[in-house]
Structure 1
Amino acid sequence: MPRPPEFTARELARLRMQALGLAGDSVTSRTVEGVVKHHLAMQAQDFRASRWAIGSRLPGSREADVVAAYDRGEVVRSWPMRGTVHAVPAGDLPWMLELMGPRALAGVKRRWENLGIDEAMLERAREVAVGLLAGGRRATRAEFTQALTDAGLDMTGQRAYHAVWYLSQTGTLVQGPVRNGDHELVLLDEWIPDPRRLDRDEALAELGRRYLEARGPATVDDLAHWTGLTKGDCRKAFEANADTLLEVRGPGGPFLIPAAHLQRHDPRSPAVDRSVLALAAFDEHLLGYRVRDCVLDPGHATRVDPGRNGVFRWTLVVGGRVAGTWKRTRRAHYTLVEIEPFDPVPARRRPAVRKALEAWAAFAGMTIRIRWPDAP
């Protein structure tokens, strides 16, 4: 049996960058829908950050392009796994909810008891949702909350959030078109009239294939972390695709990768080495994996997630590895961008960093001024 290919941490990082569509020579799609389909799901609890997570993979795109894909019903936001909001291809959402939703639902019972939420209240909320939205109607979350209150339901505290979460998790609601910068709620069955339907084995196989297509090299632990499924289910997801996968070795491995990747992608890619990217908070570059050591020095992890609570900062990525963070502050006539690199940025590298930040500014329609860490 031939020895599995072996890669350094930096080579693994280069391969992941190309799988994620973040290297200049590996753009995975030319459309918003295509980018989201490639990733299957992209973490999106911060709506503005999630728009750039998509746009950073579509050179020359604008925020309006992402919003238009939501308005056309190509992409939706929901809670397909782990109880966390993701951008998802509309047609894939129902089978993802069926596969991964039960584990998320099983984890909230005690929280509901503390909030005074019970099944009767949630099912009454479902009746209100259908009555309010049937026939293609739409409502903001505030409008839906008011309708629940008018129906005699107590929506104080976090009850309104949990009602929307539950009705989305169980396939009644979905966040679809955008009004004034935020989503409107619609009925899932009306907004997604022709969804894909997969049985459990088919769904696991589809999950394993598409996860590795967008994120390989990766491990069973990575997929379990990303989905919230058991490791047993994640092994089945990869085993269902065994004839197309290759085992590779490296720090933190062994890993699995689609065999075709090693024909399309270059572990010594000069395009990745030259790349400087300003990525969004919660980008799949980090959030797509349990172990991120090949792209983020563990010694710098708290600078990206200061509270160690999963609230990630926007990152600067140089040569496939996280090299710092950046933050934005709106001023009267411009947006101030402050760079927080892990190491000093040499003068020769600053034009590339500026270009990366200007790509975000063009996408977001912002005028920016950059404050370097050595600025007064």
Structure 2
Amino acid sequence: MGEKTGKTTARATGAKRAIGPDERRARLALRHRLAPSARAATAEEVAGALVALHATDAATVFLAAAARLAPGGDPVAEVERALYEDRTLTRMHGMRHTVFVVPTGLAAAVYSSTSDAAAARERATLLKHLAAGSDFDETWLAETERQVLAVLAERGEATGTELGAAVPRLRSHYVYGVGTAHEGPQSVSSRVLRVLGMEGRIARGRPQGGWTSSRFRWALVPPHAELPAAEAQSELVRHWLAAYGPATEADLKWWTGWKVTDVRRALAAVGAAEVVLDEGPGFVLPDDLEPVPAAAAAADAGEPWAALLPALDPTAMGWQARDWYLDPAHRPALFDRSGNIGPTVWWNGRIVGGWAQRPDGGIVWRLLDEGAGGRDAVRAVEAEAARLADWVGEVRVTPRFRTPLEKELSAA
């Protein structure tokens, strides 16, 4: 009764609702499908809950999904079904020039809000480099791209090497960085395929080898809807706030890579409601102001949770300001020098340690916060480590970006 009265009074007086770290962690547990009762049945549910799965490291997609799928199935087969058979998930360039896996239904919004502008810059840069370091021009590039698309239309999919054999132009070189200390020959192939991928005309399909491989085959992509940029940005922000709200303007600017004017326009377009966070003003969707059970209450109800999340996991990388779920003292052990987070151990909404896989396949972990959760936490982490080891089996996973604690544990 008191809580309801408090809400009514706050609204009546125009006071902004405060959302503390406990409630933010409770939202994270449920909305990111990490609490046991919130686990997902399909890979599509996982991707939809998180908006986008980081895919710079191919293994992250599978590890992130498996941590959130209900026990009992084959995570690899489930993700491969969605990516390569049903194509309900799409791997594409997106926010911050990073490769993501997104729900196919959201791909058009990502292209129009983010990728198209980045692709235009990438194409302009490539033409500038070709003009400075070769005799190739825009007409030459257009014909090269036409030949690549024709080969893929005929074959269905092909590796970069196969495309180079079928389209000799891709084997051409130009001089990169003319007149600079970085001057040297560079292959046209990777740049052309990158531009076509960023424009959404081709996409990475099945990899060569297993699910940890980053050597992908390329395939044509059906034309995507062209949305007005502002409309697409609003749609993406609506999805993001539903998953990551409350969050600050700076969090959203960092996650999208947009200009602050675009962020503010999109927040206004969705009618984002301002709330008070420990780090300052934050935002939620206008219909998302109701409280959720605090993390402590969830634990009392019998649902404490642990998770072993992979390097570059969407939850760990979801906000720019992370102190509410990560002790700043743990950053040096868990991040590389470029700001990429490694494999993390979570307990009730906080990062409390890290994990790694040894060459013999063993999953090893360490708590950096020894007082977090006591024996309950240790037992829960042990159970998650056993679950991970069981489905990974004989596969060896080495993160693309190594962090101090991951390297130390994997060598133990």
Q: Is the contact made by 1:16 and 1:216 (CA closer than 8 Å) also made in structure 2?
A: no
Question: Matched residues in 1 for 2:137 and 2:23: separation?
Answer: 50
Partner of 1:300: 330
Question: Matched residues in 2 for 1:360 and 1:280: separation?
Answer: 11
Report deviation, 1:197. 4.5
Written as runs of structure 1 = structure 2, the 5 A alignment for 1:163-174 is: 163-174=192-203
Report deviation, 1:344. 3.4
Change (3 A) 1:101 1:9: same
| Aligned partner of 2:227 among 198, 212, 215 | 198
Task: Work out whether 1:38 is the aligned partner of 2:49.
Answer: yes
Question: Matched residues in 1 for 2:392 and 2:166: separation?
Answer: 34
Change (3 A) 1:276 1:113: same
Q: Is the contact made by 1:7 and 1:249 (CA closer than 8 Å) also made in structure 2?
A: yes
Partner of 2:80: 67
Q: Is the contact made by 2:44 and 2:89 (CA closer than 8 Å) also made in structure 1?
A: yes
Task: Work out whether 1:329 is the aligned partner of 2:341.
Answer: no
SS of 2:323's equivalent in the other structure is coil
Question: Matched residues in 2 for 1:34 and 1:229: separation?
Answer: 26
TM, length-normalised to structure 2: 0.77
Partner of 1:153: 172
Partner of 2:240: 211
Report deviation, 1:52. 1.3
Q: Is the contact made by 1:12 and 1:250 (CA closer than 8 Å) also made in structure 2?
A: no
Tell which has more relative contact order, 1 or 2 (C-alpha 8 A, sep 6+).
1
Task: Work out whether 1:318 is the aligned partner of 2:347.
Answer: yes
- Quick one: which amino acid aligns to residue 55 of structure 2? A
Structure 2, unaligned stretches of length 5 or more? 1-12, 175-184, 397-407
Question: Matched residues in 1 for 2:288 and 2:37: separation?
Answer: 13
Change (3 A) 1:337 1:113: farther
TM, length-normalised to structure 1: 0.84
Q: Is the contact made by 1:218 and 1:289 (CA closer than 8 Å) also made in structure 2?
A: yes
Report deviation, 1:69. 0.9
Question: Matched residues in 2 for 1:47 and 1:249: separation?
Answer: 37
Question: Matched residues in 2 for 1:119 and 1:211: separation?
Answer: 40
Partner of 1:13: 25
Q: CA RMSD in A?
A: 3.1
Task: Work out whether 1:137 is the aligned partner of 2:156.
Answer: yes
Report deviation, 1:65. 0.8
Change (3 A) 1:267 1:95: same
Question: Matched residues in 2 for 1:295 and 1:158: separation?
Answer: 43
Report deviation, 1:310. 2.9
Tell me the number of residue pairs that the alignment of Structure 1 and Structure 2 aligns: 361
- Quick one: which amino acid aligns to residue 186 of structure 1? A
Q: Percent identity at matched positions? A: 24
- Quick one: which amino acid aligns to residue 162 of structure 1? R
Task: Work out whether 1:353 is the aligned partner of 2:353.
Answer: no
Q: Is the contact made by 2:17 and 2:275 (CA closer than 8 Å) also made in structure 1?
A: yes
Partner of 2:147: 128
Q: Is the contact made by 2:94 and 2:100 (CA closer than 8 Å) also made in structure 1?
A: yes
Deviations 1:81-131 (A, max 9, x none): 221110012233233222212443466566886795876465344223212
Partner of 2:219: 186
Report deviation, 1:291. 1.1
Written as runs of structure 1 = structure 2, the 5 A alignment for 1:249-260 is: 249-260=276-287
| Aligned partner of 2:364 among 321, 338, 362 | 338
SS of 1:294's equivalent in the other structure is coil
Question: Matched residues in 2 for 1:153 and 1:76: separation?
Answer: 30
Question: Matched residues in 2 for 1:16 and 1:105: separation?
Answer: 32
| Aligned partner of 2:105 among 74, 85, 91 | 91
Change (3 A) 1:351 1:96: same
Question: Matched residues in 2 for 1:259 and 1:26: separation?
Answer: 23
Change (3 A) 1:10 1:216: same
- Quick one: which amino acid aligns to residue 90 of structure 1? T
Deviations 1:26-76 (A, max 9, x none): 34x422123213333221111112211122221224211101111121112
Q: Is the contact made by 1:103 and 1:228 (CA closer than 8 Å) also made in structure 2?
A: no
Partner of 1:23: 35
Partner of 1:224: 253
Question: Matched residues in 2 for 1:114 and 1:81: separation?
Answer: 24
Change (3 A) 1:35 1:188: same
| More off after superposition, 201-210 vs 267-276 | 267-276
